Amino acid sequence: MIRNRLLRRGIFAGVFTVFGCLVGASMLSANDDDDRHHGGGGGKEQQLPPQTLPQGFESTDQLLRDARRAEKAHEYSAWIVESSRFVGVPTRSFMPDVGTPDTVDLPVNIGIIKDRHGNITLYDSGWNQRDYQVMTGSCCNKDLTAQMAAIGLDPKKVVRIVIGHGHWDHAGQLSGFPNAVLYVQKEELKQIDFFLHYPVEFNGGHIRAVNTTTTTVPPSCARTPVCGYPPKTVNEILGKLMSGKAKIIDGRHQIEPGMIIHPAFRGHTYGSQLLQVNTQVGQLVFGSDTYSSWIGIRDWLAANIQQTDTIQQFLAYEKCYVLTSRSPNLKTGFNNCIAAHEPTSYSDAYPITKNWWNIPNGNCSRAAELTISNGQKSLVPGNPDKVKCQAPIN
């Protein structure tokens, strides 16, 4: 258990004062030669959209340049798996402009990206901390390493994990990949530090970082920022930081040719980030909770608004429209935006996920093959099980 006083005076102070000691000076620079073209230039100050941090701004020209450059890189294969499923979520609490049906089931989708050498990058890592789920029932929770093995991917090949943000349902299970390097935005760490020490004078002391269990009725911090960063999840993130298995970045960053992180600050959390991946079907853009709903991106609707600045969410939608605008089939475009909680995932209604199946012995969790390249054999079973099952609610 992380103690607030220790965090306040020790761990995070150490994180921000000894960056170089944690992960090495060469790993911390987000402003390498390939990134400098994103900083503006010409001595002319760039006018930013409202509430946009300078390091979070990318112009259309800059995004198109990234798309063109990525097309010259090798192509990646990509899948998603369902880490868990939230059951019976009121539709309007997820997407206020959509009222039917009354409730929806929301998957927690994790991206799996494989390069030509067999190395794997995860986008988000799911969760297995059931005692922190207090907003609604959930089912179909399964360890991510077991899910990967069940569909034919070796979890030991995971070399890095890019978290879209640090909330418990997206940044859990990091310890299951001890050799993988975590990619996290500096702005996300700043938000975590603030909410772990959430000022009690804001709310009379009723909302505290540690009140994240189901022991209080009603749950004392449901739908508040504090709930996003429970102790177990923070321990997972800090474990990577303190062991030197983290890369702290600040804005746009190219991981390698054809794989680029784009900032989406305040699109959901302070340090939200997207991941652009070059594939056979054009650029895929993974968006975690900034892209909670693909239907939201398609129809320009705000989604998952509890901790989201909707201005920044819509600007992040635009980033996906631009990055995917050069797709071989222009009808794909926004179809290549990969959402974390889209209710129509694993169906023809969300076209990029139509090649889906139930994971064998996966507790009703599902997988979908998005695209394959480099001689990668399809992982879709010859006779895929597509009968949607419902595991008991946890």
Q: Does the pLDDT at position 37 exceed 50? A: no
Which segment of 41-50, 143-152, 231-240 scores lowest on mean pLDDT?
A: 41-50
Q: Does the pLDDT at position 148 exceed 50? A: yes
Written as six digits, the tokens of 133 are: 């789920």
Q: Does the pLDDT at position 167 exceed 80? A: yes
pLDDT at 50: 82
Mean pLDDT across 195-221: 60
Is the residue at 383 inside a domain?
A: no
Q: What is the pTM of this model?
A: 0.87
Mean pLDDT across 129-149: 78
Q: What is the CA 77 to chain-centroid distance, rounded?
A: 18
Mean pLDDT across 139-159: 95
Q: Quote the CA–CA distance of 247 and 159 in Å, as a whole number.
A: 12
Of 310, 328, 307, nearest in space to 318 by CA: 310
pLDDT at 28: 35
Q: Does the pLDDT at position 218 exceed 90? A: no
Which segment of 62-71, 267-276, 310-319, 325-334 scores lowest on mean pLDDT?
A: 325-334
Q: Model confidence at 3, in pLDDT bands (50, 70, 90)? A: very low
pLDDT at 41: 42
Q: Quote the CA–CA distance of 123 and 20 in Å, as a whole number.
A: 25
- Most confident option among 7-16, 89-98, 154-163, 322-331: 154-163
CATH number at residue 345: 3.60.15.10
Q: Does the pLDDT at position 393 exceed 60? A: yes
Mean pLDDT across 327-341: 82
pLDDT tens for residues 266-319? 999 999 999 999 999 999 999 999 999 999 999 999 998 877 899 999 999 999
Q: What is the dihedral of CA 241, 244, 245, 248, to 10 degrees?
A: 60
What total number of domains does the chain contain?
Answer: 1
Taking residue 35's Cβ as centre, other Cβ atoms within 10 Å add up to: 17
36 vs 164, higher pLDDT? 164
Q: Does the pLDDT at position 180 exceed 90? A: yes
Q: Which amino acid is at 105?
A: D
pLDDT at 271: 96
Q: What is the mean pLDDT of the chain?
A: 84
DSSP state string for 140-209: ----HHHHHHHHT--GGGEEEEE-S---TTTS--GGG-TTPEEEEEHHHHHHHHHHHT--GGGTTT---T
Q: Model confidence at 42, in pLDDT bands (50, 70, 90)? A: very low
pLDDT at 206: 64
Give SS3 for 122: strand
Q: Quote the CA–CA distance of 305 and 98 in Å, as a whole number.
A: 13
Q: Model confidence at 392, in pLDDT bands (50, 70, 90)? A: confident
Of 288, 175, 162, nearest in space to 234 by CA: 175
pLDDT at 181: 98
Element (H, E) at 248: strand 246-249
Give SS3 for 311: helix
Is the residue at 42 inside a domain?
A: no
**Alpha helix ranges (H) inside the chain:** 4-6, 12-17, 19-23, 25-28, 60-71, 91-94, 144-151, 186-196, 231-242, 294-299, 310-323
pLDDT tens for residues 124-137? 999 876 655 554 57
Q: Does the pLDDT at position 198 exceed 80? A: no
Please confirm whether the linkage preceding 218 is cis (ω < 30° from 0): yes
Q: Model confidence at 225, in pLDDT bands (50, 70, 90)? A: low
Which segment of 197-206, 216-225, 352-361 scores lowest on mean pLDDT?
A: 216-225
Written as six digits, the tokens of 343 are: 């209710």
87: containing domain: 4-25+59-371
pLDDT at 46: 66
Q: Does the pLDDT at position 190 exceed 70? A: yes
pLDDT at 248: 98
Give SS3 for 53: coil
> In the chain, what's the furthest Cα-to-Cα distance?
60
Q: Are 114 and 76 contacting, i.e. CB atoms less than 8 angstroms apart?
A: yes
pLDDT at 130: 62
Of 267, 110, 297, 121, nearest in space to 187 by CA: 267
Q: Give the contacts of 25 (CB within 8 A, at least 6 positions apart).
A: none
